[in-house]
Amino acid sequence: MRIDRVALRCVNLPLVSPFRTSLGIEYAKPALLVQVSTDGADGWGESVSGFDASYSSEYIESTRDVLVRHLIPPLLAAKDVTVSSLGPLLAGVKGHRMAKAALEMAVMDAELRSYGMSFATSLGAVTDRVPSGVSVGIMDSIPELLDAVGGYLAQGYRRIKLKIEPGWDLTPVRAVRERFGDDVLLQVDANAAYTLAGARHLARLDDFGLLLIEQPLDEEDMRGHAVLSRHLTTPICLDESIVSARSAADAIAMGACRIVNIKPGRVGGLLEARRIHDVCAASGIPVWCGGMLETGLGRAANTALAALPNFTLPGDVSASNRYFSTDITDPFILEDGHLRVPQGPGLGVTPLPDVLAEVTTSVRELVR
């Protein structure tokens, strides 16, 4: 495939309600979209980098910069680009996994569209629908939280994840258990807000039968997670700490986690995400698909990945209307607590031109 043009498009979508985590509060979802034009089909990718560097060292402007200066030029110069040639082509650039993931997704979309093959088939999906969980932000009050959780359960979400931080942990978990009972699949995500000094406090979460506690400690504190895990009966799940198949293998070997959250957009792309899935499967570690409030483009890719066999827990793959009043693609809809895995060529979805135009804040084009 010859790549003739790459367009980098910044979009900003208002969120239906503010999303608060231990890292801050978001009112809108900014995203950098990558559109590749080739001698075959066009393809779309989406970067999960955020507006600031609070969740990850990568952020939208750093992603755009490394794409423009270092990642796109070798693609435009290459005679033939396929998704499997990207690894070697881009090996000279360290890190910048979110940028690489967006580019890989766009090239993969173009390549698979030219074959008429879906992401699901290409990745090895074993199901055509995936159970949908929902990530519930930190709220101003318990009644507000119970309203939100009750609303999601009424819609049919199969699993609830509560964002926690020191001062908002035991009380919201207890309140949700008391109101909605012990049968609700419930888990928590701290986004690295605790230290080992909080181990005894976190162990009090063991009373609530949680599926897992996600990323309680700093992303680089693999040893700390291994120590903490010996103080808890609740399984530790890592998110931010898992950046590659190698880090997943290390985490498992150290006993730092018993479950892994795989975010393709954060680990360098779908191929690395699949390698993490495979390492975990071989080690008996269940995985689930995380999310970064993706638009319908990233959601299509995540849904396809979540259909692989070792994705045995419901993921943060919620319906479009959990995030946006209007998505940039046809919306993903909750049906009996599941999202359908797109079956069309490539991602199986494309941006709706009118909506795209409305949410676009800038476009930059690079040509061969």
Q: Which one of 29, 100, 161, 263 is the catalytic residue?
A: 263
User: Does residue 221 bind Mg ion (CB under 5 A)?
Assistant: no
Of 91-99, 140-148, 163-171, 206-214, which part binds Mg ion (CB under 5 A)? 206-214
Contacted by 292, from Mg ion, ligand OSB, none: CB < 5 to 8 Å by type = ligand OSB
Which positions ≥6 away from 244 have C-beta within 8 Å? 267, 268, 272, 275, 276
Helix and strand numbers, DSSP H then E, in the chain = 13, 13
Of 54-62, 178-186, 188-196, 291-299, which part binds Mg ion (CB under 5 A)? 188-196
For residue 55, the minimal CB distance to ligand OSB (Å) is 5
Binding footprint of Mg ion, residue count (CB under 5 A):
3
For residue 317, the minimal CB distance to ligand OSB (Å) is 7
Helical H segments across the chain, by residue range: 60-66, 72-77, 86-90, 97-115, 119-123, 142-155, 170-180, 199-203, 222-229, 245-254, 270-282, 296-305, 353-359
263 catalytic per annotation: yes
Q: Using the Cα atoms of residue 135, residue 137, residue 143 and residue 148 in order, give the sign of their dihedral.
A: negative
Contacted by 55, from ligand OSB, Mg ion, none: CB < 5 to 8 Å by type = ligand OSB
Residues that bind ligand OSB (CB under 6 A): 55, 135, 189, 191, 239, 290-293, 316, 318
Which residues within the stretch 104-143 sit at the binding site for Mg ion (CB under 5 A)? none
User: Does residue 316 bind Mg ion (CB under 5 A)?
Assistant: no
C-alpha 361, offset from chain centre = 23
User: Does residue 219 bind Mg ion (CB under 5 A)?
Assistant: no
3-state helix, strand, coil in the chain (%, to 5): 40, 25, 40
For residue 207, what is the DSSP state? Answer: G
Q: 356 to each of 9, 108, 351, how far by Cα in Å?
A: 10, 21, 6
Assigned token pair, 290: 């995380």
Binding test (CB under 5 A) with Mg ion, winner from 109, 111, 189, 327: 189
161 catalytic per annotation: no
Which stretches of the chain bind Mg ion, using CB under 5 A? 189, 214, 239
What positions carry a catalytic annotation? 163, 263
